[in-house]
Amino acid sequence: MEYHLVVCIDRTADAGGWSNKLETKTVHRSIGRRGAHDKSAALYASLPSDAEKHEVRNVYDGDTFTLTNEKRVRLLGIDTPEIKEQQPFAQEAKAYTKDRCNKREVHLSFEPGSEREDHYGRLLCYVWVSADNGKHLCINEGIVEAGLARAYTPGKGKEPHNWEKLVRLQSNARKQRLGLWSDFHDHNVYKTANGAAYHKRSCKHLARIRNLKELRVSEALDIGLHPCRTCME
């Protein structure tokens, strides 16, 4: 199926690796409506043993939706651009999830040994949909593979079981310049010894920290760090 997408392209680098200055252009790309390409790394032969069947009522954005039983779902291990802030590729990320999940039957699975809900009462899940080839697509991994989400963990020691795979999919998408990585610019940022984010040097969270490590954004991303939500966005 052929889609004509209006894509937000960054032309000026900021500290997060891309800019909030937007430009639009039309691109053409073939995307399977319910499934994924046979070679997708997000496809699985079977569902997890704990997978629960549900139906999606409404998709809010790339990583959040509501079920018909009124429970809200937040996809584990990822973070998509915010629609409210009109961040680049927010609409494309929403379209990815909506096209595959909205008004459809999905399966939800949970991280072993972790809380099933966050402090907002949202279910923290892996979301699975049937693919055209009889396999099952993990939306959490597929949207990262498509370059429409970042790998995300709230802190060190809280990484999901498939964290290394999510980081690898993110790295591959960045190297292919897919989606939100289409105009990625590398530059220097800073990290603390045990933090899960990378920062600008001027970030208020670094004010009293002496032992900082300077590294490139690409290096930070490839070791699983995400941009600081205070100084980078």
Q: Is 180 helix (H, G, I), strand (E, B) or coil?
A: helix
Burial level of 104, CB count in 10 A (0-12/13-18/19+)?
middle
Tens digit of each residue's pLDDT (9 = 90 or more) over 134-192: 999 999 999 999 999 999 988 777 899 999 999 999 999 999 999 999 999 988 989 88
CA 13 to chain centroid: 20
Note the pTM of the prediction, 2 decimals: 0.80
Pairing of strands 22-30, 2-10: antiparallel
CATH class (in words) of the domain with range 34-185: mainly beta
Q: Among 185, 231, 228, 190, which Cα is nearest to 212's?
A: 190
Residue found by looking up tokens 């900021």 in the block: 14
Q: For residue 166, what are its two tokens?
A: 């999510």
Distances, alpha carbon 12 to alpha carbons 19, 23, 171, in Å: 5, 11, 21
Tens digit of each residue's pLDDT (9 = 90 or more) over 211-228: 899 989 989 898 888 888
- Cα–Cα distance between 216 and 222 in angstroms, integer? 10
pLDDT of residue 156: 77
Q: Among 176, 27, 17, 137, which Cα is nearest to 81's?
A: 17
Res. 31: pLDDT tops 90 = no
Q: Where are the domains of the chain?
A: 34-185, 186-233
Q: Which residue type sits at 71?
A: K
- Cα–Cα distance between 198 and 215 in angstroms, integer? 9
Residue 27 DSSP class: E
